[in-house]
Structure 1
């Protein structure tokens, strides 16, 4: 399944956000893969961030990551950098962008 998400980086934190993503902890990347994600890409336009995930099951992904210490630490770090964050609770499964068109 493909999931598109929108978040927003703070204008004064763009460089720090990008630097953080050049050094995503290996333990976090492994946990994301183990939770069924086969691909996760983030694009930035100004402060707007658009994520495209390919995963087996979004609810499973969020359930496995929500309380995982390495993800909790990462999300705490991201919360300092973002104006709009992604919700890792079960409510986050409804946070995806609605698909409008596909070719």
Structure 2
């Protein structure tokens, strides 16, 4: 199981609407995410900044599978009215660089 973090940013003025959209995400989207190996996805918001924690089998494989899924394509198109961008690392990837996890420290 892989756990990774992502950072995205909302379009100004869409914060409340974005949260309303996530009050109940489409059940069919959750089904296709589970099928792609995504076990859990949490989002926290600070102003316009969103921080995502994703738990999955293989993130790159999940993203590749979802890219061709019509349910995810509809969701991404729908959410594009709220999300300005996903932050990228210098190597062009989306996951944030992991720095530290308390439970992984041995002493």
**Higher Cα radius of gyration:** 2
Please, which runs of 5 or more residues in structure 1 have no aligned partner? none
Which structure's residues are more often helix, by fraction? 1
Distance (whole Å) between structure 2 residues aligned to residue 37 and residue 97 of structure 1: 17
TM-score by length of 1: 0.87
Please, which runs of 5 or more residues in structure 2 have no aligned partner? 103-107
What do the CA deviations read for 1:48-80 (whole angstroms, capped 9, x no partner)?
000000100011111110021111111111111
TM-score by length of 2: 0.84
Q: Where do residues 19-98 of structure 1 align in structure 2 (5 Å cutoff)?
A: 19-85=20-86, 94-98=93-97
Report how many aligned residue pairs link the two structures. 99
CA contact (8 A) 1:78 1:85 kept: no
SS of the aligned residue for 1:12 comes to: coil
Distance (whole Å) between structure 1 residues aligned to residue 87 and residue 76 of structure 2: 9
Alignment RMSD, CA only? Answer: 1.9
Q: Which consecutive segments of 4 or more residues in structure 1 shift more than 3 A?
A: none
CA contact (8 A) 1:79 1:85 kept: no
Decide whether aligned partners of structure 1 residues 5 and 52 sit closer, same or farther in structure 2, where only a CA change above 3 A counts.
same
